[in-house]
Amino acid sequence: MDRSLTPSLISFYIILELDSSNGNLSYKTVPLEAYRSIFKNDLFKGEVILVSGGGTGIGRCIAHELASLGATVVIAARRLEPLKAVQEEIIKLGGVCDTMQINIRDAAMATKLIQDIVEKHGKLSCLVNNAGGQFLSPASMLSANGFATVVDLNLNGTFNMCKAAFDGYMGEHGGRIVNIVADIRNGIPRAMHTGAARAGIINMTKTLAVEWGPYNGIRVNCISPGLIVSSGMKNYDQGVVDWFLKGHWKNPSGRFGTESEIAASVAFLLSPAASYITGVNLEVDGGSSLSRGNLEGDDLVYNPEGSLHPAYVGWPEGAHNVHSIKHVDAPPKVNQLLEKYKKISRSKL
């Protein structure tokens, strides 16, 4: 086995292992030093922030971002093992992190979760609804049960968490909520079920912003990520990853987004800087939603040779160490693609 040690997206080392017999590459992340947000490091000092789905991918990065800004971060999900791993990372890096188990489809469990957080930590300042998921299926082959399952997880689960947070703390004390959805404006093939659920969340967000605003200034917003380089890509088969790669540059930014760019957007919407922003759906997608939404077209509009837009990552040198954008817990083909962004991005910083 050949080994090398390289820095990762959010200030970890990735241990790469190359099997010389078959050429397969495997890797694992090892914490190195604290995540460095672009924001002031005590921005959320004294705040208690709940991040659902905080054990992997974008949720993990959000947890690191908020912990680096002084928050006590509570990460919750169905499986405790990945949560404990992220908790250990954050604590080793000097942050404060707690873990709790939740099935967001269970309203009673969501209510108990909020009660436990308030009892243990004294408050709940913010809620980030990141938990969710789906499988890909053409609508013509989607069963009623499959549709209901995805809607229950994403739409009903988000409602359960929002309602529990309101009843258990925010209705009396105020707070901020950010719902992570998806860029579904133009429709996504094989994702009709999750598209319907996410559209419901966006409308629910706007309605809650109107209804709950008078309750001590509760703010409720959405973030719709575009194509983001994340460990979540490993949940899809190679054909889907290849489909992503084929259209990666077909937006005005000419590239994928990073987990840190979603985490920074969450931090902004939770911060006092966004105190006059509520009920919005912030599309963090490099302008993808402005195009026709057709990955087969737009060849003459955007440049496939490389992005002119530098990427933001939470590396110790901040955005200025663009070399780190290629070190992501994503399929190797995606990391190879990010290597192409490096040279142009450096010249822009």
Rounded distance between C-alpha atoms, residue 60 and residue 137, angstroms: 27
At 16 the three-state DSSP class reads strand
- Contacts of residues 333-337 at CB distance under 8 Å and 24 or more positions apart, as own/partner, are 333/241, 333/242, 333/245, 334/229, 334/233, 334/241, 334/244, 334/245, 334/256, 337/245, 337/248, 337/256
Per the structure block, which two tokens stand in for 308?
């002119």
Rounded distance between C-alpha atoms, residue 2 and residue 15, angstroms: 10
Q: What is the pLDDT of residue 133?
A: 80
For residue 243, give Cα distances in angstroms to 132, 196, 237, 239, 295.
22, 22, 10, 6, 9
**Domains located in the chain, CATH noted:** 2-348 (3.40.50.720)
Rounded distance between C-alpha atoms, residue 118 and residue 203, angstroms: 28
The dihedral built from the CA positions of residue 85, 90, 92 and 95, taken in this order, carries a sign that is negative
pLDDT, block means (10 residues), the chain with 349 residues: 34 49 55 72 96 94 95 98 94 94 98 99 99 84 91 95 99 99 79 88 98 98 91 76 77 86 97 98 91 51 63 53 45 64 47
